[in-house]
Each structure stands twice: as structure tokens, then as C-alpha cells.
Amino acid sequence: MSILDRLSRLLRANVNDLISKAEDPGKIIEQALRDMRAAYAEARSEVADAMSQNAKLEREANTNRRMASEYEKKAEEALRGGSEELAREALRRSQNAKDLAAGFEEQLQVQSSTVEQLKTQLRALEAKIDEMESKKSLLAARQKTAQAGATLDRVSGFDKAGGAMDAFEEMEQKVSGMEDRNRAMQDLRKENDFDAQLKDLGRTQALDDAMAALKAKVQGGGNS
């Protein structure tokens, strides 16, 4: 369950509990603000974790690109030294490193999109907290004006809290869309895994082509 989904449910539970106990609207708003501040702190932590995952994926992609380049150089050195088997193994490892680098880059793109969506939700939550903070004193004044009718006080308080919950229901729908997208990406990755198995069927030919190209390069260099 997402952070905003948990917050929406928590708000409803707390507001309904306060209403059932005939508490005043001010307490409802204060409780909503406490819940929102706690959710904001947790959401910031989640965004930070997602951003750190971005950095890790980028490092992995760079590392594998560097390894692919190094193995290509080693393959050339091995062939120049007369060891075709070593050259072939080095080319195979270079190809594996390239595949890994491409995989990490793909994950980085997905993760970056997730981070941006989380940041958007975090900014929306922060704006809602600021809005409720600014209206808190006004709501307190309106509550005092309406104290002549206790029943009307409770209904009015519920309406104000309900307005806050409506905003979070809208956020909840957006987050559900993010979760649907994540599930779709997982399905695509499963399909890609199958495609990768099919791709492996042609890896031997690709390796042979790479070896032939390397031989041509080495032999051409020797003739010059």
C-alpha cells in the first residue's frame, strides 16, 4: 500500500472516530495535520531511497560499460599473442557486460520516472499541509462563531476534514495509476526475459562474427 493510500485511510479513520466521540472540528483539523506531517516525513524518506537507487543503477551501468571496453582490449591482445580461445572468451565477457549495462540503463529510466512521480506527489502533499496550516486559524474563528449550534459545529468540522480527504482521494487515484504502470513494467520485463532467452540462441553466431572481425583487424594491422 502506498504512503498516500495509507494516509487517506488514516485520515478517514481518525475523522470518523473524532466525529463519533462528538469532538470539536478544531481537533479534527489538528489530527489531520499531524497525520499529514507524519506522512510527509515518511514520503521524503521514500523519495530519498528511490533517488539513492537511481545512483546505484547508474554506477552499475557505467561499471559494466567500462568492463565491456576492457574485455574488448584484452581480446585484441590475446589474438595478437596467438591465443584465439582467450580472445573468444574475452569477447564473450565483453558482450555479457554490454548486455548488463543495457539492462541497468533500462532500469534507470524506469526508476527515474518513478522518482519524478514521487517528487510530484511529495510537493502536492507539502502544498496541502501549507494550505491547511494557513486556514487553521480561520477555521478556529468560524468554529467559535458557530458554537451556538453544537450539531452544526460537528457537521461543519466534518465537511472541512472531508475537503482534506477529497484532496487525498485524488492523490490516491494518481498513485494507483503509478502502481498500475509499475505492474505493466513488470509484465514487460517478464516478456523481455523471454525475449532475452530467444536472443541467446544467436549469441554464438554473434561471437563468431566478432571473432572474424577481430581477426581481420589484427591481420590487417600485421600486414601494414
Domain residue spans of the chain: 3-201
In the predicted model, is pLDDT for residue 120 greater than 50?
A: yes
29 against 112, higher pLDDT: 112
- C-alpha pair distances (Å), 191 with each of 160, 179, 185: 47, 19, 10
Which amino acid, residue 100? L
In the predicted model, is pLDDT for residue 75 greater than 90?
A: yes
For 7-24, how does the pLDDT look when each residue is reduced to its tens digit (9 = 90+)? 565 555 555 555 555 456
Determine the straight-line distance between the first and last CA of the chain, rounded to whole angstroms: 66
For 175-218, how does the pLDDT look when each residue is reduced to its tens digit (9 = 90+)? 677 677 777 767 666 666 666 666 666 677 888 888 888 888 88
The answer to whether the CB of 104 falls within 8 A of the CB of 67 is: no
Q: What's the pTM?
A: 0.49
Query: pLDDT value at position 153?
Result: 45
Q: How confident is the model at residue 130 (pLDDT cuts 50, 70, 90)?
A: confident
Whole-number percent of the chain with pLDDT over 70:
63
220 against 56, higher pLDDT: 56
Query: Domain spanning 3-201 has what CATH number?
Result: 1.20.1270
Residues in Cβ contact with 74 at an 8 Å cutoff, skipping those fewer than 6 apart: 86, 90
**Which helix (H) or strand (E) is 202 found in, with range?**
none
CA nearest neighbour of 173 among 1, 5, 3: 5
